[in-house]
Chains A and B, each alone.
Chain A
Amino acid sequence: MIIHHPILGPRDAQEFVYLGDASLIDRPDGMTAGVEAFHDYAYNRDNPAGEHRELWYHEQGDRSWLVVTRNTVTHEISRVELARDVARSRGRSK
């Protein structure tokens, strides 16, 4: 597969490490959320046949974490974003 890195352009997926569902960005706050919320965060994932937002790490490149929107059936990649930007847009900061 080819991932169109937002900064570096097309890069072979071989350079990346796959993590999984981009919902891992939405980590609950450990001081306020309880075991249930963390259980959900750590273990529960959707497994769609179709569009999936997922985390890829450019380990053999610039070490950017990316959010890749990929169709799990066709492998078509419709969107690639820097995970840092996605995290900020979802209200994450420090």
Chain B
Amino acid sequence: MMWSRKSAMLGSLAVAMYLLGLTLRNSQLVTIAVVIFVVLTWAALFGGHADVASSGRRSEEFTGEEGVALGNVSAMRKMSSARLFEDGELSVTLRMQNHSGLAKILEVRDRVPEVMRIKSGSNYILMELGPRRETFIEYTVECPLRGFYSLGPVAVRIQDAFGLFHREKELHVYNDFLVFPKMEDLKETFVKSRVPKIFTGAVNIRQPGPGSEFYSLREYFEGDSFRAINWAAYARSGKLMVNERERDAVSDIILIVDSRAVAETGPVSRNALVYSTRAAASLAKYFLGRRDSVGVIVYGDEVVSVDRDTGKKQLYVILTKLAGAVAKGNTPLQVVVNRILPHINKGSPIIVLSNLEDDPTIVNALRDFRARNFDVTVLSPSSLEFEFDAKRLDRTGYEVMKTERDVLIGELRGLGVNIMDWEPDMLLSTALAGARGF
């Protein structure tokens, strides 16, 4: 049983009045003190039902015994889905059961992660639960940010009518769920752009081989299939000519996501890491949809990689990895480059998603890529803009840092890196088009 602030104050007042009454020989003070003691004792002995909370203490601070009254209360939870995308909604049904023969007035709070918003219903309920009855509490939460989350525990509180004493119990019912970064559809944008395929080298590697697209005509050699002979060309030139087709190649796309501690600079919902993970998810979906092979490297306090692969399963693996990316550590990009360089195919497009801050190795690392003829694209969500928009940065500071950033971007551009300073309100497709110069 826990004392609320009110009961503690009343108790102190009673003790003070009691002692003062004895000192002043004032029976009225003693009488008031006695009445307060009686009220407190009565509430403590028979306060078996709850009321609205008046205590300032939070349930997680309590580690003691919750008492008999809550021993017969149990909870179960059901969620509409264990995986959803950012801005998605999760419906939760909490089933509260009272196994006791006594009715209880309970205050129930189902713990929801702080970043979640309650869309409908409520996770905080005051209710009377009849003897051997159960009730269903339904609410919907909106999940604005990617990550691994957990619902629970369920905090149950029972309190006397005057809010003097309460008992609390945490029912350790947990449900985990995963929020994937939301994705932007890039297909439409690319189709509408002047050049249909931005990463032309990514799919067609310009080599003859088995495929569906026409590549060139050449003379017939022994062993060539008769089906490949171009009879019209034979009629024109008098020589046996065959159609050569362009090899349908599945290319490797490498996405490098910066999840260092500095990537989380800015508000929780608007920072470089949030933008980078969303961009990586969108790009992965786009390229996997084109049957390319996509690999992801997330670096922060360590380098985590998803091996290149194709298909829907790979998209799920990538999304899971991106959902779990936590801003931590300060691994330089050069370490990542040194580690992956021996394992990636020459000429593979590399897309780096980083705010380019607090890493002196960026220029050298990207130079290493360019020196080996990799097609490097950098999408750089600007932490400065996030900070400035949130009014955490004064204009002078912003301008100075912006100039430094412009200089760095200019230097990288000079290395032949396709780079885009991605401002917060810019769509990913626009930023990509800007990076590639369309």
Chain A complexes with chain B: no
Q: Give residues in A with beta carbon < 8 Å to B.
A: none
